[in-house]
Each structure stands twice: as C-alpha cells, then as structure tokens.
Amino acid sequence: MFSSNEQFKQEFIDRVERMSGKSFADSSERDQYQALGNMVREFASQNWISTNEQYRYSGTKQVYYLSIEFLLGRLLKHNLLNLGIEKIVEESFTELGISLDAIEELEADAALGNGGLGRLAACFLDSLASLGLPGHGCGIRYKHGLFEQKIVNGYQVELPEHWLRNGHVWEVRKLDHAVEIPFWGHIESTMENGRLVFHHVNAERITAVPYDMPVVGYKNKTVNTLRLWNAEPSAYPIHKDILKYKRETESVSEFLYPDDTHDEGKILRLKQQYFLVSASIRSIVRSYRKQHISLQHFHEHVSIHINDTHPVLAIPELLRFLIDEEGYGWDEAWEITTKTISYTNHTTLSEALERWPIRIFQPLLPRIYLIVEEINRRFCNELWERYPGDWKRIENMAIIANEEVKMAHLALVGSHSVNGVAQIHTEILKQREMPLFYEVFPNKFNNKTNGITHRRWLLKSNPQLASLISEAISDEWIAKPEKLELLMEYQDDSLFLEQLSKVKERNKHKLVETITAKTGIALDPTSIFDIQVKRLHAYKRQLLNVLHIMHLYNRIKEDSSFSITPRTFIFGAKASPGYYFAKKVIKLINTVAKKVNEDSEVSKYIRVIFLENYRVSLAEEIFPAADVSEQISTASKEASGTGNMKFMMNGAITLGTMDGANVEIFERVGNENIFTFGLSADDVLRLQKQGGYRAMEYYQHDRRIRKVLDQLVNGFFSEEQNEFEAIFDSLVAHNDQYFVLRDFSSYVDVQSKVNEAYRNQNEWWKKSLVNIAKSGHFSSDRTIQQYANEIWRIRSNSNVL
C-alpha cells in the first residue's frame, strides 16, 4: 500500500486535512494520531476481509477465547510493527518533523483487565494471529477500564478511567450483528409434538452490540478479530421506568469487576458474565451457520475456550441453545457442548473461586438455572453409581451445594479439558485442590505453562536489545523465539557482554528520565535496579520486600562500615479498591521510600520508588531497565506469573521462590543464573495443614525482625501511631498466613548474594545473557501452539493466504 515514503507522506497529509478540516500546518498531534490510526486500521482491513473469507471458504476449525478481561495496552506501534510498516512510518514522520513516540503517547491504554489473566489473553491473541491460527477473542467493551491510580500523601486514590473519551480508532461498531439477551422473567413449559418446550416469558432484554477490533499477525497477512460487546437498551423495552431501564442496561458494560460486597454488585457481575457468553455464542453460531446447516458436528468446527470461570455459563448457554432453539435431546446436546468447551484455571486461592448464591442466580437467569440443576442432578447420579453411599464426597463435588452454584465445578464437569498454567500449579490442582475431580476425570487435566508475546515484550519495547540480538544471531528468533538459545554461544564473548550491559544502561537512563520528570527524584542509573511490579496482594509479598528495605536502612544506620552496591528498589502495583491490607502496604512502601530517600546517609546506598499507575504502557519501559526481578510469592500461591517471563526476556535475573513458572525458569537457566530462597510449595502446604508456623517466635528471636516490626508501630515513622498496626497484627497477632517472617532470613541472605554477584560484572552479564537465551520457551507462541495441538485441535491455514 505504501510503496515509498513520499507516497505515505502525501496520503497522510491528505488524510489529516480531510479528517480535521485544518491545514496540515495547523493540525494538532491528536489530529495526526487520529489520521494515522485510521490509515493503519484501513490498511489492516484488506487482510481482515481476506482472512475472514479464507476462514469461511476453507471451513477451518475456529477457536473463540472467551475472557472477562483483555489487557491490551496500546495498539498503534504494535500494529505498525506487525503490519511491517513501522520503518516507513517512522522515517516519514522524521521527515515531516513529527515524533512517532509523542503520537503514540496520545493513545490511551485499553486496560480492560486487572493483571496476569487479562494480559495473558492479550498475549494469546497476538500469538494466535502471528501463528496464522484461526482464533478470536470475545470480551466486554467496558466504558471504564481499570481505575487510574494516584498516590496522594502515600495513599492510593482511584480515579475513573476514560479510555474512550477521544474515541478508539481500532474499533468498528457492527450494529447489524447486535443480539438480544434475556434476563429475569420466568419459564413456562408446554408439550409440543410430544416434546417439552420451554418459553422464557416477561424477560427484560438487553441489546449486545459488537465492536470489532482487528488482531494483526506478525507480517503474515492474518488478521483475526477481537469482538467486544457493548450493552445497550433494547428497542422493545418492557420496563415502565425507561430511564431506570436505560441506566441499568448500560451499567452492564460500564465497569470491570463491579464491587460485589453487596447483592446489587453480585447481580451486576453475574449479568456481565451471562451477557458475554450469551452474546458470544449467538454470534459464533451465526458465523458457523454461514457454512453448515446442522449443529451436529459443531464441535468439529468450533472450539470455545473459557478463561477462568467467569465465562463458564457458556456451558449451560450452549446446552440451552441446542435444546431449546435447535431441538436436540439432552444427551446429544451434552456431548456437543462438552466436546466444544475447554477451561483454564488461573488460581488455587479459595477466596478467588467463584460461587453464586442461588437466590441471585435463579431469578436473574431462570432457564440457565434449570439447566445447571439438571447438569448437577445427572452428575450427582453418576457419582452415586460410582461411589454408592459416599454422601460426603458427592456433597464436596456437587455443582450446587449449600445454596450456591460452584462455578469451578461446573467448568470441570462441562468441559473436555482443564488446564493449569504452570507445571507446579497443575500438579497442585491435581493432587491438592481438586483430587476428587482428578480421580473421576484424570484425562481432562493437563498443563499449559503460560507465555508472553516476545514481539511486544522484547521486539517492540526493547528495540536496542532486539537489534543487538539480531546482529548476533540473525532475526530468525522473531519467527522462532526458541532460536534465542543461539545466544548461548556468546557467553564468553566479553565484547558482546559489554554491549549487553550498555543496552541495559541506556534503558535504565530512559526510565530514570521518566521517573525524575514525574517525581523530581534523581536516581543513579549505575545502581542495581531491583523491581517488583504486579498487582498488590498479600500472597505476592510486597511486604517482605519492604521489610527487607527497612532492615537495610537499619544496617546502614547501625554500622558505619556496612557498605552495599547501590540499589534502587522500584515498586509498581495497584490494590483492589476494597482491599484494606493491600492499601496499607502501598502506604508503607511510600512511607519507607520517603524516609530512605530523604536521609542522605542512607540514600547514598539505597533509594525507593513507588511508580504511580502501573499499567501495560509503563511496564514496557520498566522491564527493559530491570537488573533484578522480584518474584517472591509464598510458594504454592502464584499459579504461574508472567511478569517473571518479561523480566527474564529482557535480561533481568530472577530473585524468587520456587513458585509458579519460577520453577521452570530455574530448570532452564540452572542454579547459577537465578537466585532462589524460601520455603518450597511442599513445605508451605505441609505447614498449612499443621496450622501454620509460629510467627511470634520469629518476632521474639530474630532481632532484625523485631526491630523492623517494632518500627511499624513505635512512632519511627512520622505517620500516625496506629497507621501500620494492621500490618503488624497480620504478621504477629494473626500468625502471618503468608510465611513472611519465616522466609525473611533466607530473603536477606539471598539479597546479599545478589549484592556480591553484581560486583563481578562479567559474570553478571553472563547470567543476564543466559536468561535471555533461555527465554524463548516462555514465548506465548509456544504456549498457543500447545493449546492448538493438544486442546483445540486447530491448524494454521497460512499456506492458503
């Protein structure tokens, strides 16, 4: 399309003028962003149309990835890169005196997710398209993405996020593909031609309008679709109070994870979940029907994947469709449904496993509830036959029990595949969390260790490292990330290691500029950049990190001969708005940061930064600048982690527990290229069974621990005396559920090993190189290829394109 810079510039200038109604000289950066975005989307549209036609005519099996979260971030540069036009655009912009970086900044992050689970969905979409696989995303077009975080006086303050304020250039509204979703009302049944037929009467309908976004594969002409549903009032409302109806309807796609501490919020969340699956299944069937008349072989042509349990109502919804709308009998409908649906579990934390009270579920989704009851009845009967008289077991496994619907049980029973997201996580699911289900369905369980797209997390966000790699081993690694292993040959090449260190230094300088511009705090780019960025949660143990920093502060103060390699501790984390403890930890980090940074004796050695509003676009600046990757969850609690992979791919060394995918990083890089510490998952699970460990003893007997814990409550900080009492209590009075004090000593030791290791620069950069070389395995291309071969059984059709 753009054969030369001249042609591109001409078209761009024309476009800016046509769209903005201004002369190019008068146009703003936003006008230019809008024009470029539109040009790129149109450019992608040609391949979008041909990809869709090709899928339709070849009849290739399609996979649909249903997810309540898609944490996409920005798309402009990503799309330019994947379309292979970033050079022409960059050069042309330079000639026109426009900074592409500045233009990119105008795009709001699409933050339709919280953390790992949502970012994984976004990485998967990129890998599906880049491998030429027919896979599409289905989600919700939230009006407000994840809140914007401000830090005011050390506290987190949440502001509503407005990513759609200036429109979103990548989406296309498809009103003609809108569908109606029924809620409330009641079910009547009649006999028709000897069959029981169900009618949903007096339902309140919500219109689901799809907004499609192109998902561009890396230089392969494949463009898949991400379909996000918007909730709008139906043209035929039955409501008397129209305004109320309009407000309630629109709220369905207004916020990600509405507060569910009360029933109103719970209803809204369940409404969102059914809205997503019902709209998606209707549209999947519609597109299937363009090639096939009967749904008898649906599962041979369609795979539906549910990302955690949020979209698990896809199971009863597909059954409902087959039975009520297509006239199938239960057994046949059940077979088609289970063969179509597969499920990923992303956490073993019991507080995160979804359960809905019947009093909420039944009135909101009366027909779906009847179907879930029937699934439960049949499943319990089967269990009864297999384990006659074993009531306890059946109660533990039932889908409906104690007045609640257990969504994970529904997912396990109604799908053909259940996977964990790292080896250790899958083993914990099989052996500890779901052993009863593993006994009944051993063949459903499988592992798919997570991955990240190396195109965004290395090629796009760390261009200098990407070039250095390509100069050494050619750019083959972009299509085949496992080729990064060729870098192992450079382990003893001191010139190469020197170049690697220079790239890191430049990336650190860049991050320092960003931080200093925002906070006014000067940082030393030659210090070790030790970074922990992730959602704030007790099990991720940001607290352990900050207690260690307090300990270092004490050491520096107590002992004038104590010296360490200068270190900059960087945190980024959002806490869930209602999560009191997590917010206290944010306040503590900021309080410690102030104390440390303002003390000239201490800040010679250590500095502490809390980066406000951690998000995908900021993450892209952070990972390339990291030396140490903090992955310090309580062993057994972090299902996989994916930040650990992003750090590794950018040459940071992991400092972590043997948890989640850290274990597989350890297996690949070897003991000398990772710093591990702390209890193992087996230790933690064993101790937990025994009621934990005695945290009080660690407080009493380890004077380092006693000193830092006392500082939380003795007025050491200028904050109010009881500011950190809850943290102190969580550790001592409530016996530290997360083994922070138990792992403290081991953490201090491993941190001092990091200190030593950094002194030998040659050895450090060798470790860094080995980490990059071994990171290819953690590309989501590998993960997706495994899902494609082993769960979805789909193939690439790229040869036809």
List residues with catalytic annotation.
346, 534-535, 540, 642, 646
The distance of closest approach from Cβ of residue 369 to ligand 26V in the complex, given in angstroms and rounded to an integer, is 24
The distance of closest approach from Cβ of residue 119 to ligand 26V in the complex, given in angstroms and rounded to an integer, is 8
d(CA 616, CA 160): 17
Q: Which amino acid is at 694?
A: R
The distance of closest approach from Cβ of residue 307 to ligand 26V in the complex, given in angstroms and rounded to an integer, is 9
Q: Say if residues 548 and 542 touch (Cβ distance below 8 Å).
A: no
C-beta closer to ligand 26V: residue 116 or 366? 116
Residue 346 interacting with ligand 26V (CB under 6 A): yes
Q: Say if residues 539 and 743 touch (Cβ distance below 8 Å).
A: no
Tell which one of 660, 678, 705, 727 touches ligand 26V (CB under 6 A): 660
For residues 298-317, which are near ligand 26V according to CB under 6 A? 308
Using alpha carbons, select from 138, 170, 39 the residue that is nearest to residue 92.
Answer: 39
The distance of closest approach from Cβ of residue 631 to ligand 26V in the complex, given in angstroms and rounded to an integer, is 10
C-beta closer to ligand 26V: residue 1 or 349? 349
Helix, strand, coil content of the chain in percent (nearest 5): 55, 15, 30
For β-strands 172-173 and 204-216, DSSP reports them as antiparallel
Of 282-290, 343-351, 588-596, 768-776: span binding ligand 26V (CB under 6 A): 343-351
Half-sphere exposure of 496 (CA within 13 A, CB side): 19
Task: Give the per-residue contact string, 366-405, with ligand 26V (x = CB under 6 A; - = no).
Answer: ----------------------------------------
C-beta closer to ligand 26V: residue 109 or 638? 638
The distance of closest approach from Cβ of residue 258 to ligand 26V in the complex, given in angstroms and rounded to an integer, is 13
> Residue 533, SS3?
strand
Total residues interacting with ligand 26V, rule: CB under 6 A: 19
The distance of closest approach from Cβ of residue 344 to ligand 26V in the complex, given in angstroms and rounded to an integer, is 7
d(CA 331, CA 187): 22
Task: Give the per-residue contact string, 415-454, with ligand 26V (x = CB under 6 A; - = no).
Answer: ------x----------------------------x----
- φ and ψ at 58, to 5 degrees? -85, -15
C-beta closer to ligand 26V: residue 81 or 120? 120
Q: List Cβ neighbours of 790 (8 Å cut-off, separation of 6 or more).
A: 446, 448
**Burial class (CB within 10 angstroms; exposed 0-12, middle 13-18, buried 19+) of 789:** exposed
Tell which one of 351, 559, 598, 720 touches ligand 26V (CB under 6 A): 351
Tell which one of 134, 154, 641, 656 touches ligand 26V (CB under 6 A): 641
d(CA 151, CA 574): 10
Q: Say if residues 645 and 731 touch (Cβ distance below 8 Å).
A: no
Q: Which amino acid is at 524?
A: D
The distance of closest approach from Cβ of residue 428 to ligand 26V in the complex, given in angstroms and rounded to an integer, is 12
Using alpha carbons, select from 731, 708, 632 the residue that is nearest to residue 677.
Answer: 632
The distance of closest approach from Cβ of residue 624 to ligand 26V in the complex, given in angstroms and rounded to an integer, is 20
The distance of closest approach from Cβ of residue 639 to ligand 26V in the complex, given in angstroms and rounded to an integer, is 4
C-beta closer to ligand 26V: residue 321 or 647? 647
C-beta closer to ligand 26V: residue 261 or 561? 261
Of 57-65, 344-352, 616-624, 771-779: span binding ligand 26V (CB under 6 A): 344-352
Check residue 532 and report its DSSP letter.
E
C-beta closer to ligand 26V: residue 190 or 350? 350
Of 96-104, 580-588, 640-648, 789-797: span binding ligand 26V (CB under 6 A): 640-648
Which residue number places its CB atom closest to ligand 26V? Answer: 116
* Measured torsion, CA atoms of residues 641, 645, 651, 657, in degrees rounded to the nearest 10: 40
For 728-734, the CB contacts below 8 A with 24+ separation are 730/538, 730/581, 731/695, 731/699, 732/695, 732/696, 732/699
The distance of closest approach from Cβ of residue 124 to ligand 26V in the complex, given in angstroms and rounded to an integer, is 10
d(CA 630, CA 140): 32
> Tokens in use for 653?
């060394």
d(CA 405, CA 9): 58
Half-sphere exposure of 352 (CA within 13 A, CB side): 14
Q: How far, CA to CA in Å, does 91 sit from each of 99, 455, 460, 473?
A: 10, 21, 17, 26
Q: List Cβ neighbours of 763 (8 Å cut-off, separation of 6 or more).
A: 757
Q: Say if residues 465 and 624 touch (Cβ distance below 8 Å).
A: yes
C-beta closer to ligand 26V: residue 337 or 642? 642
Tell which one of 175, 197, 352, 488 touches ligand 26V (CB under 6 A): 352
DSSP string, 552-583: HHHHHHH-TT-----EEEEEE----TT-HHHH
C-beta closer to ligand 26V: residue 102 or 352? 352
Using alpha carbons, select from 270, 183, 171, 168 the residue that is nearest to residue 233.
Answer: 183
Check residue 2 and report its DSSP letter.
-
The distance of closest approach from Cβ of residue 648 to ligand 26V in the complex, given in angstroms and rounded to an integer, is 14
C-beta closer to ligand 26V: residue 285 or 360? 360
Using alpha carbons, select from 430, 503, 442 the residue that is nearest to residue 467.
Answer: 503
Tell which one of 347, 376, 426, 462 touches ligand 26V (CB under 6 A): 347
* Measured torsion, CA atoms of residues 349, 123, 149, 578, in degrees rounded to the nearest 10: -20
C-beta closer to ligand 26V: residue 120 or 511? 120
For residues 493-552, which are near ligand 26V according to CB under 6 A? 537
For the CA atoms of the chain, what is the radius of gyration? 27
Residue 640 interacting with ligand 26V (CB under 6 A): yes
C-beta closer to ligand 26V: residue 346 or 777? 346
d(CA 718, CA 739): 28
- φ and ψ at 541, to 5 degrees? 60, 45
Task: Give the per-residue contact string, 101-130, with ligand 26V (x = CB under 6 A; - = no).
Answer: --------------xxx--x----------
C-beta closer to ligand 26V: residue 346 or 460? 346
Of 124-132, 147-155, 168-176, 345-353: span binding ligand 26V (CB under 6 A): 345-353
**Burial class (CB within 10 angstroms; exposed 0-12, middle 13-18, buried 19+) of 190:** exposed
The distance of closest approach from Cβ of residue 305 to ligand 26V in the complex, given in angstroms and rounded to an integer, is 13
Q: Which amino acid is at 549?
A: I
Q: Say if residues 764 and 529 touch (Cβ distance below 8 Å).
A: no
Tell which one of 349, 479, 522, 800 touches ligand 26V (CB under 6 A): 349
Tell which one of 86, 433, 530, 638 touches ligand 26V (CB under 6 A): 638
Residue 350 interacting with ligand 26V (CB under 6 A): no
Of 348-356, 368-376, 428-436, 513-521: span binding ligand 26V (CB under 6 A): 348-356
Residue 231 interacting with ligand 26V (CB under 6 A): no
The distance of closest approach from Cβ of residue 682 to ligand 26V in the complex, given in angstroms and rounded to an integer, is 19
Residue 642 interacting with ligand 26V (CB under 6 A): yes
* Measured torsion, CA atoms of residues 235, 241, 245, 246, in degrees rounded to the nearest 10: 70
Check residue 352 and report its DSSP letter.
G
Name the residues that contact ligand 26V, by CB under 6 A: 115-117, 120, 308, 346-347, 349, 351-352, 421, 450, 537, 638-642, 660
